[in-house]
Structure 1
Amino acid sequence: MTLTGQDPALLRRLNAAAVLRTLHAADELTLTQLVKTTSISRATVEDVIAGLDELVEEVGIKVGDPRPVGRPAKRYRFRAEAGHVVGLDIGPHKVLALTADLKGRIVDRRRTVVTPETGTADRIAAARSVVRRTLRAVGVEPGQVRALGVATTGVVDPADGRILISDRLPGWAGVDLPAALDGLADGPVLVGNDTNLAALAEHWCGAAVGAKDVICLLAGRSVAAGLLIGGKLHAGRNGAAGEIGVMRAFGWYTAFDRFLAYGGDAPSGEAAVRVFEAVREGDAEAAAIVRAFARDLAKGVGAAVLTMDPELVVLGGGLSGAGELLAAPLREELAELCLFPVRVESSELGGESVALGAVRLALDHAEHAMFGVGPA
């Protein structure tokens, strides 16, 4: 881009974005370091900083620091606490809200229990309540929330955040979540599918950091897949990319039933724990159940691997805690089905992966508003 004297507003915006990005990526920088890193003149950097008092502050000499000889260098930091984002996971069994500062550091988490049978109005009321609770806990007003990211089960319309299809929550299809959650943030309410946002979290701070092409599974009572292509979330034209489980021939709908049969009357999560504990103790029946589950997983994942040729498959969701007990047989099954070996890793983000993806979705919006110079 060629800038001329006729572009002063754009030039100032570009300079401000460069200074903010540089400070955001560092703890503290001197004025000299800012000038060198941004390649902007000293006078311009000082002028830009003067107009960014909400997000940039000058840092004084700390107690215990050596006293400089002569005039101390001006030092600045990015005020991550000047704004916040919230990530909200609205699922069949829980509603979880994470509040983060503008550097993505989680400063509070609040959770409430729901069930698949919870009505739509009550589920939305629980979501609104849990967001208010987390904001109160850190003394943040809705006007200080720059974006609210929301993750939920079902196919989400990429255009407006409405739930198009949901087979896990009765009455959830058709819900307009941005409207239902209006007023909880000054910024927009951004909605995405839970598995897609779990993939976003893995790429941000989980097993897929640095990877470009990734398949992320959420495996538990149900199974779903999220796709990253070129390091970017791929939701598809209708928001339905990765919905492999609808093809019942792959067996994802009934795969978990084996765990339930072994666990007897135990709840679904506890039934899986019993199976994996039995595998550790050398139980042949339990080992066969895990192998059969991995085989069912591999049918759908293998089709996606052959389509995408990814560098990584991340095993997330409730069964990720099994680690290599499930990752190893899945890896072996995929090796039998696919042309090339593919790396399989278990997520270490636990039950917060979906909410963390919602945080990342909100942060992306906030960062574009701070550092971008064009439309989102």
Structure 2
Amino acid sequence: MTLTGQDPALLRRLNAAAVLRALHGADELTLTQLVKTTSISRATVEDVIAGLDGLVEEVGLRAEDPRPVGRPAKRYRFRAEAGHVIGVDLGAHKVLAVTADLKGRIVDRRRTTVSPETSNADRITAARAVVRRTLRASGVETAQVRALGVATTGVVDPSDGRILISDRLPGWAGVDLAAALEGLADGPVLVGNDTNLAALAERWMGAAVGVDDVLCLLAGRSLAAGLLIGGKVHQGRNGAAGEIGVMRAFGWYTALDRFLAYGGSDRVFEAVRDGDAEAAAIVRAFAQDLAKGVGAAVLTMDPELVVLGGGLSGAGELLAGPLREELAELCLFPVRVETSTLGAESPALGAVRLALDHVEHALFGV
């Protein structure tokens, strides 16, 4: 981009974004370090900082700091507490709200229990109540919430966040969550599919940190996959990318029924640990059926990593190991299979990341 004398507003915005980005990525920086990092003149950096009241503050010497010779260097920090974001997992069995500051540091979590039979109105009321609880516990005002991210089951319209299809909550289709949760944040309400946002969370702080091409499974009472391609969520034309659970012909539903017949997944995996052959056969059958759908997705997108999340991820290697072996038989190249490190919180944390991405684009983008 070539800037001319006709672009003063754009130049100021570029400089402000550069300074904010540098401070956001560090604990604190001296004025000299800011000049070097941003390649902006000292006088301009000082002018930019003066115009960022509330987001940047000068840091004084602490008691433990060595006493400098002469005038101490000016040091600044990004005020992550100047705003907050909230991530909400609005699911069939729970509503979980997570509050974070502008650096993504979690300051509070609140949850409540719902059920698939909970009405739409009661589910939304529960979500609004949980958000208010986490705000009170965090000491955060609604005006300080710069964005609210929401993870929900079902196919979400990429254009406006409406629920298009929801097998787990049939009455959920058609709900406009952005409108339903309006007023809980000063910024926008951003809605995404729970599995896609779980994948985003795993890349942010979970099993997929630093990995760009990821297939994230949520396996439990239902099955869905979130796709990250080039580090970004791939939703598809209708927002339905990764909805492999609707293909019941793969047989994974029947395998899941075997868990229930045995007494539940926890009992099955406990028996596997004890060396029970019947339980081991149930897990192997489930992995075989699961691998058929997952293998098709792996062959389609050729990911670096498959993350196993959802209710069955607690089994760890007892399920990840057989799934890895089955995929090795079906796919052209071996693919890493790891268990989620975030567990049931991954959709809510992904909603936090969705909100943070919006805020950071507003702060650092031009």
TM-score by length of 1: 0.96
Aligned to 1:272, which of 241, 265, 269? 265
Aligned to 2:309, which of 302, 306, 316? 316
Residues in 2 aligned to 1:253 and 1:289: alpha-carbon distance in whole angstroms: 12
Q: Which amino acid aligns with 1:344?
A: V
Secondary structure of the 2:252 match is coil
User: Deviations along 1:266-313, whole A, 9 cap, x unmatched?
Assistant: xxxxx2111111000000011011111111110001001111111110
- Deviation, 1:252, is 3.4
- Deviation, 1:368, is 0.6
- Deviation, 1:169, is 1.1
Aligned to 1:293, which of 286, 291, 298? 286
Residues 219, 308 of structure 2: 8 Å contact kept: yes
Aligned to 1:327, which of 301, 320, 335? 320
Residues 320, 348 of structure 1: 8 Å contact kept: no
Gaps of 5+ in 1: 264-270
Q: How does 1:1-376 map to 2 (within 5 A)?
A: 1-263=1-263, 271-373=264-366
User: Deviations along 1:20-57, whole A, 9 cap, x unmatched?
Assistant: 00000000100000000110000000000000011000
Q: Which moved more, 1:205-214 or 1:10-19?
A: 205-214
Report the identity percentage: 88
Residues in 2 aligned to 1:249 and 1:256: alpha-carbon distance in whole angstroms: 13
Secondary structure of the 1:345 match is strand
User: Deviations along 1:132-179, whole A, 9 cap, x unmatched?
Assistant: 000011111111100000000000001111000001113101001000
Residues 255, 282 of structure 2: 8 Å contact kept: no
Residues in 1 aligned to 2:256 and 2:248: alpha-carbon distance in whole angstroms: 13
Residues in 1 aligned to 2:161 and 2:141: alpha-carbon distance in whole angstroms: 24
- Deviation, 1:248, is 1.7
Residues in 1 aligned to 2:341 and 2:326: alpha-carbon distance in whole angstroms: 22
Secondary structure of the 2:228 match is strand
TM-score by length of 2: 0.99
Q: Which amino acid aligns with 2:364?
A: F
Gaps of 5+ in 2: none
Residues in 1 aligned to 2:252 and 2:297: alpha-carbon distance in whole angstroms: 14
Q: Which amino acid aligns with 2:154?
A: G
CA RMSD of aligned residues (A): 0.7
User: Deviations along 1:198-223, whole A, 9 cap, x unmatched?
Assistant: 00001111111111111000011111
Residues 214, 228 of structure 1: 8 Å contact kept: yes
Residues 256, 286 of structure 2: 8 Å contact kept: yes
Secondary structure of the 2:171 match is coil
Residues in 2 aligned to 1:299 and 1:33: alpha-carbon distance in whole angstroms: 53
Residues 117, 170 of structure 1: 8 Å contact kept: no
Residues 92, 169 of structure 1: 8 Å contact kept: yes
User: Deviations along 1:325-373, whole A, 9 cap, x unmatched?
Assistant: 0000000000110111111000110111110000000000000111111
Secondary structure of the 2:112 match is strand
Residues 203, 209 of structure 1: 8 Å contact kept: yes
